[in-house]
A and B are shown apart, each in its own frame.
Chain A
Amino acid sequence: MEQTVLAVSGLNVWDSLTGKLLVQDSSFEVKRGSCLAIIGESGSGKSVTCRAVMRLNRQALRQEGEIVLSGVNLSSLPEPELRKKRGKQMCMILQHGMRAFDPSCVVGVHLRETVAEHLGLGREETTARLKRAMEAVLLKDPLAVMNQYPHQLSGGMLQRMMIALALVLEPELIIADEPTTALDAIAQYEVLEQFVRLRERLDCSMLFVSHDLGAVRKVADELLVMRHGEIVERGELQELMSGRRPVHPYTRELIDARQTLQRHFTQMMGGGS
């Protein structure tokens, strides 16, 4: 029997200033060892959902609904306890690597502090583990990289550092909020490779949010399609993409858009004179 790492039911998120409902009655599950992708366009509520799971939305956004992480109900947990869970059991990887790190100190400080907070290891042990993790994500010369400021590193490198941090912390659930959107094609490819390897090494569950179907195809097992705050489609990724079963028209639109470009490209590569 597969265990469920994350179970969200009846999640509603609304803006208390304007009364607008941002996420409407969302319910979904992430099974242990599986990766759930949430696809949607800007404004569909996918990032809000992610942050709601960790209760990290800004003050004005209120939420209600049950969020159960490995049997513990997060929605009723007091803040100090929730803080302990964030990072250790749930790790978040954000869209803009540069904004995720403190711009006024070198990245090594941030990494060491986080590891020290959750794992309580000594300085040498922390550095050794970080070094190993960074080598695993193919960052050359980890110690030098740790002494750089965020603005000196490229987007792809910063994302890989977040993945390295996740490798060290070994969380149960990794929430990735549009991690490859701000990257160019090659960096995107490399970071997605790292995500795949991360899953293999840790056997953790993942919640992967994106607007790009191409990116999630590599990493995800299951798919959730959101539109205007509602979930319009859910199912196995392969099944949905293959067209074996009928899908919601919006999903069809997204898949077609993706495949049009892809087909054209393949034609150029394979066919043509």
Chain B
Amino acid sequence: MMLKVEQVEKSYPVGGLFSRRQQQVLHGISLECGYGECVGIIGASGSGKSTLARLMLGIEKPDRGTVQFAGREVSRREARGGRISAVFQDYTSSMNPFYTVEQVLLEPLRYRGSSAEARGVQGGVTAAVAERSDGAELSRVGAAKPGEGISWAEQQPRGERAVIRQAASSRGEGMTVSAGRPRGAGGWPTADRQAMLEQIDSLLHEVGLDASYRSKYPHELSGGQAQRVCIARALATDPSCIVLDEAVSSLDGSVQLQVLELLKRLRQQYGMSYIFITHDLQAAAYLCDRVVIMHQGRVEETVAISQLRDVKSEYAQRLLQAVLI
């Protein structure tokens, strides 16, 4: 299991310095997300989904319960290391207004470089995982021995890693594929600005923008373009999971579809998982395998997309009804 949320509760203090009153936002939420899976979290405003997003990203700690990412407590920075990334709703405030697109994208790249050493690159992917269903290529490289400098898996091109992850998850084995394009044993060299600029260009290309966008400021971009830059930024750390907190809700009709298609394509290409938080069931149905329906801080129901019509809880049925506009 990649991401595991177990019985988390969260409340916020209301009132001033000496007040003891608390408002409870989450009452015992549990959910899971495996490698390569796309889970939707559906809820109305006030259901606590943004709070849950913050907990999953590790920027806040739950009062009770745990949130684990790849087996470690997510609130510890080392556990995340850029492997879980985020795209937020409000594209007007998602980027520092003083930064150009280039500087916005440099931030995660610089971080990735400086933390590659700190995270340590992990080895020890077993030969069992290395076999693909057709038994071809991967097995010829063999496995890295535990403690070796670079994980064998990382030497594979990005697309291959997706396959490996899926194979790993289907066998029930977790895998820690650290981010970063390996260069010798040290990880990404931070001083190599030229390489980072190339990386930026390739990221922009991935999301359908060309290199001329590098020098633009956030307020010069339209909604769709800004969200694409945010998606590029989320991709920059080579994440296993991206949390999309109402990422398409502020976009107009056809732009929304374009961004959803982009997300779909990226997922097929890189095999990362999404946690898609939204109030729009249709958009979630387009992208997700499974949805978790939240209401007032509790999980009402969890249902696979293909079984959507069989929802039992009353709130879920109201949601369904609201969609058929």
Contact = CB atoms under 8 A, between A and B. Distances in A.
Interface in A239-263: 253-254, 256-258, 260-262
A213 interface: yes
A160 interface: no
Contacts of B257: 257, 260-261
Given A268-B285, A272-B306, A192 B45 contact: no
Contacts of B322: 185-186, 188-189
Contacts of A261: 257, 260, 282-283, 285-286
B46 interface: yes
B285 A253 contact: no
A184 B325 contact: no
Contacts, number: 81
Given A215-B325, A269-B309, 17 more contacts: A43-B222, A154-B46, A155-B45, A185-B280, A186-B318, A186-B322, A187-B45, A188-B322, A189-B321, A189-B325, A254-B253, A257-B253, A257-B258, A265-B323, A269-B308, A269-B320, A270-B309
B179 to A, nearest CB: 32
Interface in B303-325: 305-309, 318-323, 325
28 contacts: A43-B222, A154-B45, A184-B44, A186-B279, A187-B44, A188-B322, A189-B322, A189-B325, A211-B252, A212-B252, A215-B325, A217-B325, A256-B254, A257-B254, A258-B253, A260-B257, A261-B286, A264-B285, A265-B281, A265-B282, A265-B285, A265-B286, A265-B323, A268-B285, A269-B308, A269-B309, A272-B305, A273-B306
Interface of A: 41-43, 154-155, 184-189, 192, 211-215, 217-218, 253-254, 256-258, 260-262, 264-265, 268-270, 272-273
Contacts of A212: 252-253
Given A154-B45, A188-B322, A268 B308 contact: yes
Contact of A272 (B46, B258, B307, B323): B307
Contacts of A155: 45
Interface in B52-87: none
Nearest to A253: B254
A186 B44 contact: yes
A270 B282 CA distance: 14
Given A184-B279, A189-B321, A265-B323, A41 B253 contact: yes
Contacts of B258: 257
A165 B307 CA distance: 42
Contact of B319 (A186, A256, A258, A260): A186
A226 B33 CA distance: 42
By CB atoms of chain B within 10 A, which of A211, A254, A269, A273 has the most?
A269
B255 interface: yes
A184 B45 contact: yes
Contacts of B46: 154
A269 B44 CA distance: 21
A144 to B, nearest CB: 19
Contacts of A213: 253
Contacts of B321: 189
Given A211-B253, A260-B257, A185 B306 contact: no
